[in-house]
Amino acid sequence: MTQIHPDTRPETPGDGAVPPQGEPTAPVWFGQTQEITPPAGRTYEPARDDAAFGRPGVAGDPTRPGVAGDPTLPAADAHPAYPPLSQPPAGPPPSFPTRDGAEPAQPGKRRRLTELTAVAALAALLASGGTYAAVQVADGSQPTSVASTSTLGRGANAGPVVQADATNPNWTATAAAVAPSVVAITVKSAQGEAQGSGVIIDAKGHILTNNHVVSGAGPGTSITATLNDGRTYKATIAGTDPSTDLAVITLSAAPADLKPIAIGNSADLKVGDPVMAIGNPLGLAGTVTTGIVSALNRPVTTSAAESQQQQDPFGQQPQTGSDGNTVVTNAIQTSAAINPGNSGGALVNAAGQLIGINSAIASLGSSGGGQSGSIGIGFAIPANEAKSIASQLISSGKAKHAFLGVSLGDATASDGSSQRAGAQITQISANTPAADAGLRKGDVVIAVDSTRVDSALSLVANIRERAVGDKVTLTVLRNGKQLNLTATLVARASS
């Protein structure tokens, strides 16, 4: 099984932090090209569900070094480009994976394992880069209150919760319960259109989706949402958050019979739990796939370049971002098939409760035989994080993010009896949560609230998952001894 083992990377420039010596200093910037940073030697490929707005592709930037090559794996090729959605691809249909994500064996031919390419739920050409942002420098600002999340996914018209046992799920009942709460999103412009997915989260017509689904919507574009029963409504953007790849749109004339989804507690998930993905892959609304939770707390990095480009196989484009940040998600990994167009759709448990927003997949590059789309490795933003961000976007149109105030690198340290991998503190800024907690340069963080941290990226993902004002217990190794330090997270300056 392929695992994600991120390498050491510097902190985003502009926050006063100094990256570890020996590391590349060029970060990955936000913009239109989204990519997921994989372990050494594996390149995640960007993709998204935004429209073809006549933008050229991103060229590789030689100033942005990529992840060091893995000698055990060949280099991956970029996905081939296909026509826009209005022009179906010519030639034979795409090759779909088997249930476990593996392609059937071919007699007389031994397939080599190629680079994994992660995409924001819509396959795209390979983008350059390979660094990520460490935890941002604090600005000293205090947590601010946001709208309560208790009303999201609730109310008289809330979608029903299926009475099902995780050991014996009734997927027919689950699909019937959840389908009315999932919509197909279409973004149209003079140059073309794009399709994605979204989830109804309240009776007022607020729909949660991925930022990269709607970020291409500008002057002269329109957004519509089509309900499960075929009714289509105009929508406007209530707020976007490129840092978490989440957005909320609002139906302009929400009907009275909307069925908001029931939102579960993603903290209760366990590896092996059965899950269902439902969305609008390739424009096929209401598509349902099932699988299990393959892993939890999987650090996944996506980034974007400012240039606006036509990147994906169906004329759609990668994520847009303008703040220079990097999306780092403490993701749910699932074997449920997630394909182009599933972005922003629901990942639910056997009871029909939302536990994640589908946002990215891993796929093989063309050197692996040309297979794109799902290979049984998909990623979703945990529902708890999505719910918190959504409530802020509804309240103010933007979201605040927690941070620690350090620069990081990958390292191993002794706990007195064995070696432990973790995130090494390479610099601490004054008047930050890290400084107040007593962290020191050289400390190696190995856990956050008892959740294992085995890399710098893992620590970043754990911190970004939390809310402003949260208290976290950091388990660190210092001079062979294990210490527990408590930090109270504050808002990042760019928030």
User: Any idea which residues carry the catalytic annotation?
Assistant: 212, 245, 343
Output the six-digit token pair for 441: 């340069």
| 141: alpha, beta or left? (left if phi > 0; alpha if psi -120 to 50) | beta
CA 34 to CA 185: how far, in whole Å? 20
Output the six-digit token pair for 321: 């971002």
| 272: alpha, beta or left? (left if phi > 0; alpha if psi -120 to 50) | left
Find all residues with CB under 8 Å of 335, minimum gap 6, and list them. Answer: 100, 101, 291, 292, 294, 376, 377, 378
Q: Which of 65, 73, 95 is nearest to 3 (CA)?
A: 73
For every residue of 130-197, DSSP letters joined together read -----PPPB--PPP-----STTTT-STTPPPPP--BTTB--HHHHHHHHGGGEEEEEEEETTEEEEEE
CA 347 to CA 303: how far, in whole Å? 23
Helix (H, G, I), strand (E, B) or coil at 117: strand
Output the six-digit token pair for 398: 């933007």
CA 39 to CA 457: how far, in whole Å? 11
Which helix or strand (DSSP H or E) is residue 199 part of?
A: strand 192-200
Going by the DSSP 8-state scheme, the letter that residue 340 receives in this structure is T
Going by the DSSP 8-state scheme, the letter that residue 370 receives in this structure is S
CA angle 242, 232, 182 (to 5 degrees): 55
Which helix or strand (DSSP H or E) is residue 391 part of?
A: helix 383-396
| CB of 131 closer than 8 Å to CB of 64 | yes
Neighbours of 78 (CB within 10 A): 20
| CB of 246 closer than 8 Å to CB of 343 | no
CA 361 to CA 355: how far, in whole Å? 17
| CB of 36 closer than 8 Å to CB of 118 | yes
User: Helices H, strands E: what count in the chain?
Assistant: 5, 23
